[in-house]
Structure 1
Amino acid sequence: MRVLVTGSSGWLGRYLVPALVAAGNDVIGLDVAAGPHTKVIGSVADRALIDRLFAETRIDAVIHAGALHKPDIVRYPRQAFIDVNVSGTLNLLEAAVAHGASRFVFTSTTSLMISHAIRAGEGDAAVWIDETMTPLEPRNIYGVTKLGGERLCRLIHDETGLPVVILRTSRFFPEEDDTLRTLSGENMKANELLHRRLTVEDAVAGHLAALEKTPEIGFDTLILSAPTPFSRGEAAALKTDAAAVIAAHYPQAAALYAARGWSLPASIDRIYDAGRAERVLGFRCATDFAAVLGALEYGEPLPFAHDADYTSPLVIPDLIRDPG
Structure 2
Amino acid sequence: MRVLLTGSSGWLGRYLAPLLAQNGHDVTGFDVVPGAHTQIVGTVADRALVERAMGEHGIEAVIHGGALHKPDIVRHPRQAFVDVNVTGTLNLIEAAVAAGNDRFLFTSTTSLMVRADVRAGAGERGAWWTDEDFAPLEPRNIYGITKLAAEQLVRLAHREHGINVVILRTGRFFPEDDDTHTAPIGENLKANEMLHRRLTVEDAAAAHLAALEAASTIGCDGFILSAPPPFTRDDAGELARDARAVIARYHPDAAELYAAKGWILPKVIDRVYDPSRAERRFGWRAKSDFGSVLAALRHGTPMPFAHDPDYVSPILAQERHACTS
TM-score under structure 2 length normalisation: 0.96
Provide the rounded CA distance (Å) in 2 between the counterparts of 1:248 and 1:184: 25
Percent identity over paired residues: 64
- The 5 A counterparts of 1:132-147 are 132-147=133-148
* Code of the aligned partner of 2:274: D
Q: SS of 1:215's equivalent?
A: helix
* Code of the aligned partner of 2:5: V
Provide the rounded CA distance (Å) in 2 between the counterparts of 1:103 and 1:284: 21
Please say if residues 127 and 239 of structure 2, whose CA atoms lie closer than 8 Å, have aligned partners that are also in contact. yes
CA offsets, 1:48-107, max 9 Å, x none? 101111122210010000000000000100000000000000000000000111210000
1:123 Cα deviation after fit: 2.4
Please say if residues 3 and 60 of structure 2, whose CA atoms lie closer than 8 Å, have aligned partners that are also in contact. yes
Alignment coverage as a number of residue pairs: 318
1:314 Cα deviation after fit: 1.4
Q: SS of 2:314's equivalent?
A: coil
* Code of the aligned partner of 1:176: D
The residue that corresponds to 1:8 in the other structure is: 8
* Code of the aligned partner of 1:147: L
Whether 2:90 is the aligned partner of 1:90: answer: yes
The residue that corresponds to 1:131 in the other structure is: 132
Point out 4+ residue stretches in structure 1 off by more than 6 angstroms. Answer: none
The residue that corresponds to 2:293 in the other structure is: 292
* Code of the aligned partner of 1:40: I
The residue that corresponds to 1:50 in the other structure is: 50
Q: SS of 2:58's equivalent?
A: coil
Q: SS of 1:9's equivalent?
A: coil
1:122 Cα deviation after fit: 4.7
The residue that corresponds to 2:62 in the other structure is: 62
List alignment gaps of at least 5 residues for structure 1.
Answer: none
| Pairwise CA RMSD | 1.1
Q: SS of 1:194's equivalent?
A: coil
The residue that corresponds to 2:233 in the other structure is: 232
* Code of the aligned partner of 1:292: V
Provide the rounded CA distance (Å) in 2 between the counterparts of 1:248 and 1:132: 28
Q: SS of 2:139's equivalent?
A: coil
The residue that corresponds to 1:74 in the other structure is: 74
Provide the rounded CA distance (Å) in 2 between the counterparts of 1:55 and 1:28: 12
List alignment gaps of at least 5 residues for structure 2.
Answer: none
CA offsets, 1:33-52, max 9 Å, x none? 11100000000000110111
Provide the rounded CA distance (Å) in 1 between the counterparts of 2:234 and 2:102: 41
The residue that corresponds to 1:182 in the other structure is: 183
- The 5 A counterparts of 1:34-49 are 34-49=34-49
Q: SS of 2:107's equivalent?
A: strand
Q: SS of 2:84's equivalent?
A: helix
Whether 2:243 is the aligned partner of 1:242: answer: yes
The residue that corresponds to 2:154 in the other structure is: 153
CA offsets, 1:175-196, max 9 Å, x none? 0000001112100000000000
1:169 Cα deviation after fit: 0.5
CA offsets, 1:134-178, max 9 Å, x none? 100100000000000000011010000010100000000000000
Whether 2:312 is the aligned partner of 1:311: answer: yes
Provide the rounded CA distance (Å) in 1 between the counterparts of 2:41 and 2:101: 21
Provide the rounded CA distance (Å) in 2 between the counterparts of 1:91 and 1:45: 7
Please say if residues 8 and 66 of structure 2, whose CA atoms lie closer than 8 Å, have aligned partners that are also in contact. yes
TM-score under structure 1 length normalisation: 0.96
Provide the rounded CA distance (Å) in 1 between the counterparts of 2:147 and 2:28: 23
Provide the rounded CA distance (Å) in 2 between the counterparts of 1:57 and 1:136: 37
Provide the rounded CA distance (Å) in 2 between the counterparts of 1:8 and 1:212: 19
Provide the rounded CA distance (Å) in 1 between the counterparts of 2:238 and 2:122: 14
Provide the rounded CA distance (Å) in 2 between the counterparts of 1:57 and 1:37: 15
Please say if residues 28 and 57 of structure 2, whose CA atoms lie closer than 8 Å, have aligned partners that are also in contact. no
Provide the rounded CA distance (Å) in 2 between the counterparts of 1:54 and 1:242: 49
Please say if residues 122 and 240 of structure 2, whose CA atoms lie closer than 8 Å, have aligned partners that are also in contact. no
The residue that corresponds to 2:219 in the other structure is: 218
